[in-house]
Chains A and B, each alone.
Chain A
């Protein structure tokens, strides 16, 4: 996929998405919450991000994917207004990220490597953030306690930020990003360094926010992104190498993968199925990849992945094949491996 595809409007886009938070600021309805236009960032002679263009729909969960040094955090930091683009333009809810007055209370950010102020108690820090976020004075404490409870840190109110463990600090950072119910939430590596249980809880929090705000998640954890994101872009060496909905990126509407156990492998019968376009069989790994025609091929009626899985499994089982795994599409991990060096 070429970078140009990044700016292409995604298929089946809702005409206008009114995010819940929009009502409090009585702003005009927004379809695109975040827009990057040919954004480039250079640090001296080094180009960290080059010509990145993105459109992130309001209300969606969007993933920033890529290997180390791909430009994810730089892109993220420019969206949050921490870094200024060398070229190009960024709009968050229709404003450049440095328009703090217009964006205050409408955006929350979890920066990856920003330490909490060690001398502050968690409660004081969150109260301060809530005030700056524009939460009404009468609701400041309630708001701070609510987000702290959401990240399961209700007992940390009087604990100094400097005394928090990595996992606890990460959750307090997440709490400050969610304070005041912002319309756009940017999360940079929200589960990095967390134990599996806490990471799971953080994913649940992200999922619970789906539809209430626009979420941008930058992460190395591809399984996590595949689980929570509606759409994503893959960055490599500062450029967008692919973007689109998660279905498009993983090609889950065009191919299925089946792993067979030792025994018969009736591949020829699968090839004969009318909706099947092509079949790849790896004898050594016993991986079967079936590419299908969504229009149904000679069947004439459109088919989806579930339909094809049913048909292929039927043929395989009829011919005594032993099936050990079935999946739709390539999986985000494989897709990223294909597109990045």
Chain B
């Protein structure tokens, strides 16, 4: 099911367009960030690599509240770090556009009946989630790979450093995108009309973002945990207990959404 979903996505006009836009956006973002980085370097009193790293370490330690993480992340090429945070922010949009019709599209014209006859409905739902996740992961990997190439060609960082940090940062996006994909599949499974599913997906993502902002505004940490991207700061952390917490939280969120959609789908008429 996941394999079929992957094939379907990359054959569809929607999948190809989103892949193209992601590549275009990724390349453009890298070039813009590199230019900004150069402007900043030109204005710094000590633009040597060591001076830049020290400045990064101070800033990242302050951002993460942990010297170990600050020290670790300061070794990463700046462009890759910036692209990572941009990717994490924009991935929900990519996921919603790719996955809104994953189940709703099958329900709309009852195509789902060919599958429910032969597979357990929970397996179908897991396959759908896995398919969307695999597609999104493949698109983001391609986008990241283009960024790595641009970084290497422009001499932003040595190839080994770029590839090692690039792969690590891409892997960190996966648990969060898994949770977003699970939520998208869940919403998609509730509707028979794809456009309604798309609007509901946007609404639910926006709703979670508002909850996250409210959590930040009123200092209610528990509220921020409803928003999967909250865990980027955990997953990127150098301390094992922190990134494992982030990984566990994303896994739990994914399991909850996939479980709920499977349960509802098992009980409903198709």
Interface residues of A (CB under 8 A from B): 77, 80-84, 100-101, 104, 107, 109, 111, 113-117, 119-120, 128-129, 132-133, 176
Contacts and interface: CB of A to CB of B under 8 A. Distances in A.
Contacts, number: 59
Interface string B99-122: 000000010011111111111110
A194 B110 CA distance: 20
Nearest to A180: B118
A82 B116 CA distance: 8
B4 to A, nearest CB: 6
Contacts of A77: 269
Contacts of A111: 110, 113-114
B118 A104 contact: yes
Given A119-B12, A120-B4, 20 more contacts: A77-B269, A80-B117, A81-B116, A82-B113, A82-B269, A82-B270, A84-B267, A84-B269, A100-B119, A104-B118, A109-B117, A114-B110, A114-B111, A115-B110, A117-B106, A117-B111, A119-B11, A120-B8, A129-B118, A132-B119
Nearest to B105: A117
Interface string B197-227: 0000000000000000000000000000000
A100 B269 contact: no
Contact of A100 (B109, B111, B118, B270): B118
Interface footprint category on B? 20 to 34
Contacts of A117: 8, 106, 111, 114
B111 A115 contact: yes
A128 B2 CA distance: 12
A100 B118 CA distance: 6
B114 A113 contact: no
Interface string B15-51: 0000000000000000000000000000000000000
Nearest to B117: A109
B49 to A, nearest CB: 50
A132 B115 contact: yes
A101 B4 contact: no
B213 to A, nearest CB: 38
A249 to B, nearest CB: 29
A116 B116 contact: no
A128 B5 CA distance: 12
18 contacts: A77-B269, A84-B267, A109-B113, A109-B117, A111-B113, A111-B114, A114-B110, A114-B111, A114-B113, A115-B109, A115-B110, A117-B111, A117-B114, A119-B8, A119-B11, A132-B115, A132-B118, A132-B119
Nearest to A121: B11
A101 to B, nearest CB: 7
A185 B213 CA distance: 55
Contacts of B114: 111, 114, 116-117, 129, 176
Contacts of B109: 113-115
Interface string B147-167: 000000000000000000000
Contact of B117 (A107, A119, A120, A128): A107
Interface in B220-270: 267, 269-270
Contact of B120 (A100, A107, A116): A100
Nearest to A107: B117
Contacts of A81: 116-117
Contact of B269 (A83, A113, A119, A129): A83
Contacts of B11: 119
Among B106, B116, B117, B270, chain A packs the most CB atoms within 10 A around the CB of: B117
A132 B114 CA distance: 10
Contact of A128 (B4, B116, B121, B269): B4
Contacts of A133: 118
Ranked nearest first, the 4 interchain pairs of A and B with the lowest CB-CB distance are A132-B118, A115-B109, A114-B110, A114-B113
A143 to B, nearest CB: 14
A80 B113 contact: yes
Nearest to A41: B269
Nearest to A105: B118
Contacts of B8: 117, 119-120
